[in-house]
Structure 1
Amino acid sequence: MPTLLIYGLGYLGEAVARRAGEAGWRLRATSRNPDRGLIDPTDADALGTALSETDALLVTVAPTSEGCPALATLGPLLAAHRPGWIGYASSTEVYGDRGGGWVFEDSALNAASIAGARRVAAERAWAPFGAHLFRLPAIYGRGRSTLDRLRAGTVKRVHKPGQVFNRIHIGDAAAGVMASLERPNPDRAYNLTDDDPSSMDTVILAACARLGIEPPPQTDLDDPTVSEIMRGFYLDSKRVSNARAKAELGWRPACPTWREGLERLLSKP
């Protein structure tokens, strides 16, 4: 039974863990929450032992101002035992703003935000280890969707003409990682995105129509009620191609657009 170590059992990590378990993988994982009974992400001894029994390593934690926290701990340990497959969950933020144009895995990295620049640095730090890079857009799923935010009354319908971006359902993101595990290709980057980059306004209006509620009023990007995090989100406008993942991994998103994603979330309790 092969073993997968997931450094960071968060939203994406848990989705990958479910699929890997169903596929027959033995699982190990880290968490900063001691109540979960998982490996402490700063415990070098425990991680060293886990790595010695690991066939594949997936890193899902975001970088900080000091770099990738996983690499800070795992880097020295990987000299003693390097799994046959290493994956790093990155972000399409690395491409920066393209004015609505298309980007591909070989496009220049031109992050427009601090978070994006940190992702670029983390990708480069993992390069000597032959990591598979998964560049992910905004991830949505049950409990983390426009539908949930509309029901909670927390949606800001920010108006920025021409702004578009991709999304990915959490199940499709996990399926893309699993497809790479089955078809390893070290040092390769993959965009795991949907097929239909669209504006946030388009999705909000469609979601409101399906819920039978009035859309929230439009808010200008420079409105003081718009958070800095949200302003940063609207820095980028681009269309991200997923052609490489489809061609090389045989991956196909079950929710190829946000429309199928909305329907899936509405149809399952």
Structure 2
Amino acid sequence: MNLFVIGLGYTAQRFVELYGNAFAGIAGTTRSEDKRAQLAPFDVDLFDGTTPGAATLAKAAAADVVLISVPPGPGLDPVLAAFGDATTAGRARRVVYLSTVGVYGDHKGAWIDEDTPLAPEHDRVRARVQVEEAWRGRIGDRLAVLRLGGIYGPGRNALVELRAGRARRIVKPGQVFNRIHVDDAAAAIMGAIRRAQGGAWNIVDDEPAPPQDVIGYAAALMEIDPPPELPFDSADLSPMARSFYASNRRIRNISAKRDLGLVVAYPTYRAGLDALWAAGEGR
């Protein structure tokens, strides 16, 4: 199989690191020349949301698997506009689109699954729904949508944030989030590629939990005092950060385990942080 990755960011790079040996050839795109230089071992072209070059489109058309890891922009999705024709007419038997659990909206802490109607509350997640629907309309069952929880892993976790002095313990009573370790997200991508049919799956851990608990547990591992609790209502947050707290839901991952063969290596934030701490994160 040949793999083409549109947006070699954190999750996509980890997927290639862990599962790259499954592919005969790997190519992809990134947004900037600086990032391209950092990805020098890979066959990477620039894609800034405008029209890609003919050689880049040819790589997309020749791929057996296309992984899309780029958030939608305003208006027509730039990835769909740029690569839609090449991917639709190309040889890809599977297109994996990395989406977000934010598409479900707020459920006031109730449990939800893939049968829950989508109810995006903000333009950013409404755009995600539109992109999911647009790709499904283009390629039908060749599409696998993975709706990811909050991604963490090496270099991007509460331990690192605490050590850098950036962590805040914001408290909104009753608020919980699902998370997913980047290695489990990568395993889900591979499961979607191996599956004969497409679909949509929630890729989350087993235990939705309050965000302040994660910071508190990381601080305990580091044997430091956690930052003081900060009430949500008085916290100085960006509009995007505040939007994360607007939705409260507990998300089931049963379908991903059944359909994709996903075995969650880090079923709780504690298991994930334990492993990261043991690997030297935050020290």
Aligned to 1:160: 172
1:185 aligned residue (197, 204, 222)? 197
Q: CA deviation at 1:68?
A: 2.3
Aligned to 1:66: 75
**Alpha-carbon spacing, 1:268–1:79, altered in 2? closer, same or farther (3 Å):** closer
What are the residue-to-residue correspondences of 1:3-42 with 2, within 5 Å? 3-35=2-34, 36=36, 38-41=44-47, 42=51
Any idea what SS the aligned residue of 2:90 has?
A: coil
Aligned to 1:215: 226
Determine the C-alpha separation between the residues in 2 that align with 1:184 and 1:156. 43
Q: CA deviation at 1:112?
A: 2.1
Aligned to 2:145: 133
Aligned to 2:60: 51
For residues 201-242 of structure 1, give each alpha carbon's deviation from its aligned partner in whole angstroms, at most 9, with x where no partner exists: 111111111111111112222325232222111011111111
2:100 aligned residue (91, 104, 111)? 91
- Greater Cα shift, 12-21 or 158-167: 12-21
Unmatched tracts of structure 1, length 5 or more: none
Q: CA deviation at 1:160?
A: 0.5
Unmatched tracts of structure 2, length 5 or more: none
Answer whether contact 1:67 1:121 (CA < 8 A) is retained.
no
With normalisation by structure 1, the TM-score equals 0.94
Q: CA deviation at 1:51?
A: 2.5
Q: Which amino acid aligns with 2:243?
A: G
1:117 aligns with 2:118: no
Q: CA deviation at 1:106?
A: 1.7
With normalisation by structure 2, the TM-score equals 0.90
Q: Which amino acid aligns with 1:151?
A: R
Determine the C-alpha separation between the residues in 2 that align with 1:210 and 1:110. 38
Q: CA deviation at 1:25?
A: 3.9
Q: CA deviation at 1:82?
A: 4.3
Q: CA deviation at 1:125?
A: 1.1
Any idea what SS the aligned residue of 2:45 has?
A: coil
**Percent of pairs with identical residues:** 37
Q: CA deviation at 1:184?
A: 3.0
Q: Which amino acid aligns with 2:183?
A: G
Answer whether contact 1:99 1:237 (CA < 8 A) is retained.
yes
- Greater Cα shift, 239-248 or 115-124: 115-124
Any idea what SS the aligned residue of 2:97 has?
A: strand
Determine the C-alpha separation between the residues in 1 that align with 2:244 and 2:82. 30
Determine the C-alpha separation between the residues in 2 that align with 1:122 and 1:151. 37
Report the RMSD for the aligned CA atoms in angstroms. 1.5
Determine the C-alpha separation between the residues in 2 that align with 1:108 and 1:137. 17
Q: CA deviation at 1:64?
A: 1.2
For residues 187-211 of structure 1, give each alpha carbon's deviation from its aligned partner in whole angstroms, at most 9, with x where no partner exists: x001111000000011111111111
Answer whether contact 2:6 2:70 (CA < 8 A) is retained.
yes
Determine the C-alpha separation between the residues in 1 that align with 2:89 and 2:214. 48
Q: Which amino acid aligns with 1:149?
A: E
Determine the C-alpha separation between the residues in 1 that align with 2:264 and 2:179. 11
Determine the C-alpha separation between the residues in 2 that align with 1:26 and 1:132. 21
Answer whether contact 1:156 1:226 (CA < 8 A) is retained.
no
- Greater Cα shift, 118-127 or 79-88: 79-88
Determine the C-alpha separation between the residues in 1 that align with 2:205 and 2:22. 24
Q: Which amino acid aligns with 2:191?
A: A
